[in-house]
């Protein structure tokens, strides 16, 4: 089959590789019908994720048709149309029973590597480094889905791929970011980053009862899409974010702040340059510019919800601001399995149309061009869906 393989920073190639086979009794094999490039794939593309290996198949947002199931998968049949959750989870360990699926204790065969960097290991993730399992991803014609009985949701035939594909990651991810804000009616939520996850966080915040959402980015097209979702917007290259937020909230700050940017934040000024430099010489793995700003801006006693991906260590983390002002930090890789069914219902009820964020539709064999385009945000690129 054809698959998009990682070979190094800025180097992905679509190659012919063997077809996947059933390796465990709860596996399923999917014939992929749609797959997307995630913003977090760009961290791999830019070489910022440790323990990648040349030849790794990328992709953790995918859906398709079941073509084979293992002997213990009883809730799926060949021919079913399913979306796959990006964290791999057994559904039986303590974290899984607590619905903390991205913390499954049984799904990362290389858990020791993650333990070295993170202290403990999270769940395995498709196509996202060997430290997170060494699982082949879904930017391919076929994909093996371990624990498929827990990690997939069946999709009725009348809903097109583009409506449901993002149940695999970014819709639940954005939704969890908003849910973590514990929104009360009347709340103002600020969202750093208007990429796909930020867009879903904005829309989810409204679904969960926010009065006002303030979205922060620098790309006019992304800010426009945020406005389309009902947000007020702010371009951080044109306005002083902290000052403007205080002005908009009577000096109190937003009730909750969502960091939907993560480890490759951009920003103006000396501190942002400092982070870039430290990251370049590997003295800091992540650039936390947006996160610092979110913490400093949040109201006293408010919540900072971190959903953008961080991989390791940061500098100048304003812990004093967090401690003295009773801030709550909520974060985590989305526990996608927890959200797939309720969010599918919201899509079916027409409360949200996830396909609005798609800006580009390309073929799987064009993946290298797609990655380059998305990485440079060329051509107002927001979300690329690839079809085999």
Partner 1 sequence: MERQDAGGTTTLEHPTASDDRTGSAINSKPGFRSRSPQRDHSDDASHERLAQTLGWFSIGLGMAELFAPRTVARLAGLPHDHRWLLGASGLREITMGLGILSERRPAGWMWSRVGGDALDLALLATALSSAQGNRKRTAAAMLAVAGIAAVDCFASRHLSRMVGWTSDDGAVLIKKTIMIDSSPEALYLFWRDFQNLSRFTEHVESVTIYDRHHSHWTVKGPAGYRVEWNAEITDDEPNRKIAWRTTSQADIHHTGSVEFTPSPGGRGTLVRVVMEYNVPAGVLGASIAKLFGSEPGQQVQSDLRRLKQIIEVGEVLKSDGSLHGKGILQQRPAQPAGSHT
Q: Which residues bind partner 1 (CB under 8 A)?
A: 3, 5, 17-21, 23-26, 51, 53-57, 72, 90, 92-94, 105-107, 109-113, 124, 127, 130, 133-137, 144, 146-147
Nearer to partner 1, 16 or 326 (CB): 16
Nearer to partner 1, 69 or 181 (CB): 69
Are 29 and 20 in contact by the 8 Å Cβ rule? The answer is: yes
Candidates 27, 150, 25; CA nearest to 87 is 150
Rounded-to-integer distance, Cα 322 and Cα 295, Å: 7
Nearer to partner 1, 55 or 186 (CB): 55
Nearer to partner 1, 45 or 200 (CB): 45
Nearer to partner 1, 92 or 363 (CB): 92
Are 88 and 104 in contact by the 8 Å Cβ rule? The answer is: yes
Closest distance to partner 1 from the beta carbon of 108 (Å): 8
Residue with tokens 């409360």: 351
Rounded-to-integer distance, Cα 64 and Cα 77, Å: 13
Rounded-to-integer distance, Cα 377 and Cα 304, Å: 27
Closest distance to partner 1 from the beta carbon of 90 (Å): 5
Closest distance to partner 1 from the beta carbon of 53 (Å): 5
Closest distance to partner 1 from the beta carbon of 32 (Å): 13
Nearer to partner 1, 17 or 208 (CB): 17
Name all contacts of 291-295 with Cβ < 8 Å and 24+ positions apart. 291/192, 291/259, 291/261, 291/265, 291/317, 292/316, 292/317, 292/318, 293/192, 293/241, 293/242, 293/267, 294/190, 294/192, 294/257, 294/258, 294/259, 295/257, 295/321, 295/322, 295/327
Closest distance to partner 1 from the beta carbon of 130 (Å): 5
Give the burial string for 220-247 (b: 16+ CB within 10 Å, else e): eebbebbeebebebbebeeeebeebbbe
Nearer to partner 1, 144 or 360 (CB): 144
Candidates 29, 36, 41, 34; CA nearest to 143 is 29
Per the structure block, which two tokens stand in for 43?
């961290």
Nearer to partner 1, 109 or 186 (CB): 109
Nearer to partner 1, 57 or 215 (CB): 57
Sheet bearing 11-16, strands edge to edge: 11-16, 2-8, 56-57
Are 326 and 295 in contact by the 8 Å Cβ rule? The answer is: no
Are 29 and 152 in contact by the 8 Å Cβ rule? The answer is: no
Closest distance to partner 1 from the beta carbon of 22 (Å): 10
Closest distance to partner 1 from the beta carbon of 164 (Å): 25
Rounded-to-integer distance, Cα 69 and Cα 67, Å: 7
Closest distance to partner 1 from the beta carbon of 87 (Å): 13
State how far Cα 278 lies from the chain centre: 25
Closest distance to partner 1 from the beta carbon of 57 (Å): 5
Nearer to partner 1, 23 or 282 (CB): 23
Closest distance to partner 1 from the beta carbon of 205 (Å): 35
């Amino acid at each position: 089959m054809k698959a998009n393989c990682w070979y190094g920073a800025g180097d992905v190639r679509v190659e012919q590789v063997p077809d996947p086979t059933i390796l465990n009794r709860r596996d399923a094999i999917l014939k992929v019908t749609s797959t997307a490039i995630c913003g977090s794939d760009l961290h791999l593309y830019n070489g910022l994720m440790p323990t990648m290996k040349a030849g790794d198949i990328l992709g953790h947002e995918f859906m398709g048709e079941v073509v084979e199931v293992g002997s213990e998968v009883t809730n799926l049949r060949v021919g079913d149309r399913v979306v796959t959750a990006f964290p791999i989870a057994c559904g039986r360990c303590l974290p899984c029973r607590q619905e903390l699926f991205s913390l499954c204790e049984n799904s990362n065969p290389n858990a020791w590597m993650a333990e070295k960097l993170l202290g403990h290991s999270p769940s395995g993730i498709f196509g996202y480094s060997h430290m997170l399992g060494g699982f082949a991803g879904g930017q391919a014609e076929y994909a093996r889905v371990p624990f498929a009985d827990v990690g997939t949701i069946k999709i009725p035939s009348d809903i097109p791929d583009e409506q449901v594909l993002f149940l695999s990651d970014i819709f639940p991810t954005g939704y969890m970011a908003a849910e973590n804000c514990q929104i009360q009616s009347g709340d103002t939520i600020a969202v750093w980053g208007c990429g796909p996850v930020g867009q879903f966080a904005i829309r989810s915040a409204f679904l969960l009862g926010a009065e006002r959402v303030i979205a922060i980015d620098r790309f006019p097209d992304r800010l426009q899409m945020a406005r389309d979702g009902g947000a007020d917007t702010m371009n951080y290259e044109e306005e002083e974010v902290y000052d403007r937020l205080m002005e908009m909230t009577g000096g109190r700050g937003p009730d909750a702040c969502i960091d939907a940017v993560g480890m490759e934040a951009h920003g103006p000024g000396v501190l942002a340059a400092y982070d870039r430099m430290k990251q370049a010489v590997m003295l800091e793995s992540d650039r936390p510019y947006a996160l610092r700003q979110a913490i400093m801006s949040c109201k006293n006693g408010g919540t900072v919800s971190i959903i953008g991906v961080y991989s390791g260590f940061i500098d100048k983390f304003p812990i004093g601001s967090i401690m003295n002002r009773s801030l709550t930090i909520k974060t985590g890789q989305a526990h996608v399995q927890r959200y797939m069914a309720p969010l599918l219902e919201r899509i079916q009820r027409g409360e949200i149309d996830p396909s609005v964020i798609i800006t580009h539709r390309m073929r799987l064999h064009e993946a290298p061009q797609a990655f380059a385009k998305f990485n440079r945000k060329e051509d107002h690129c927001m979300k690329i869906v690839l079809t085999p």
